[in-house]
Amino acid sequence: MITGFGAVTPAGNDREATWRNLIAGNSAVGPITAFDASDLAVRIAAEVRGFDPARYLDRKRLRRTARFAQFAIAAAREAVADAKLDIGDGAGTGVVINAAVAGFDTVEAAARRLAAADGAALGPYVVPSSLANMPACEVSIDLGIHGPVHAGAFACASGSEALLRARQLILAGEADAVIAGGTDAGITPVMIGGLIPSGALSRRNDDPAGASRPFDAERDGFVYGEGAVIAVVESAAHAARRGVIPYAELKAGALTADAFHVTAPEPEGRYAAEAIRLGIRRAGITAADIDYVCAHATGTRAGDRAETLAIRRALGAAADQVAVSSPKSMTGHLIGAAGALNAMICALAIRDGIVPPTINLKTPDPECDLDYVPNAARQMPVRTAITNTFGFGGQNCVTVLTEWRNP
């Protein structure tokens, strides 16, 4: 069961602000302010704005805590409060928080300081604060959690994998509740500059709000983003004892690998489709039961086409009856947090009976021929939803969320 969510995203610094902006179809893409990007071919990103880490951390902790961990701490606190979870002595609670690029920004900034200062000494927290496990550990420290603490890197599938790992810990009896999700903060000169030669990023610098356009025939790449989304996952029995009403049941999921290329998806979507099929089968449902697919859909030409083919392969004739949309059209790509954001969107769609749109979808692409909920949110009952998240290296992760029904 998922009983709480917290979020720090380009669309809002908490769960409900993020949700309101997504339903309204508001783009969070704008000019890069994190650094001077004036000399780069790409000068736009989806930044988290107005986030004040001093609201959550004292001065000493701020010095040792990287941005991606700050996001995770804020989102985790919100999730725990939302779930009304009393962690107590922390023994029965775990943490699984994944990141893809981890402390990339911290290491890059340190390297620049060394180069500029001709070998000047760095602070003692440069290395530990940049490690991929640090958001999970900082959340553990912050909340007093003494159960299992996990952290992994699954590229853009990281946030989704964290939820599945949390589910596994609960089913194995290793924890009653797990704080789980994804975080990343990698809007830096090297990251943006390094992605430009690959052609992966949109270059619509003069139209930031229209830059992220998944499934549109005129799409030209994804928009880099940052943020964190954290959930509270717990057993049904634990939630029932506490008397809380879950957002949704985390029913099942699946991981597969394309084994094809380090950045490009397998072009026919075969193994992404297999992940969808496995997730559906493990959930004990059929393709016809799926109401909504929260798509990975970054806005790259190859990726959106392959995902469309994967959905058609997995759902068959039912694909034409399913609503599919991409939050990345508004938030950009949150990298390690993207899958957790998708899961939150599915859960809130189940709660509110509405799905967010794919904005900027103006020119239909004949190769992308599903119902992408173009440009305006849609009121509709959502009882079963799936998330697609596909990462560099060919890592595919699908999760299945269903409406919770009181037995």
* Residues identified as active-site: 156, 296, 333
Distance CA 296, CA 298 (A): 6
Residue 289 DSSP label: G
Instruction: Give residue 167's identity as a one-letter amino acid code.
Output: R
Backbone angles phi, psi at 352, to 5 degrees: -105, -10
Q: Please count the other Cβ atoms lying within 10 Å of the Cβ belonging to residue 81.
A: 12
**How far is residue 264's CA from residue 255's CA, in Å, rounded to a whole number?**
17
Cα separation values, 165 from 60, 75, 110, 387, Å: 32, 19, 33, 15
Are 321 and 342 a contacting pair, CB within 8 Å?
no
Neighbouring residues of 288: CB distance < 8 A, sequence distance ≥ 6: 318, 321
- Can you tell me the distance from the alpha carbon of 319 to that of 310, in angstroms, rounded to the nearest whole number? 10
DSSP per position, 166-207: HHHHHHTTS-SEEEEEEEE---SHHHHHHHGGGT-B---TT-
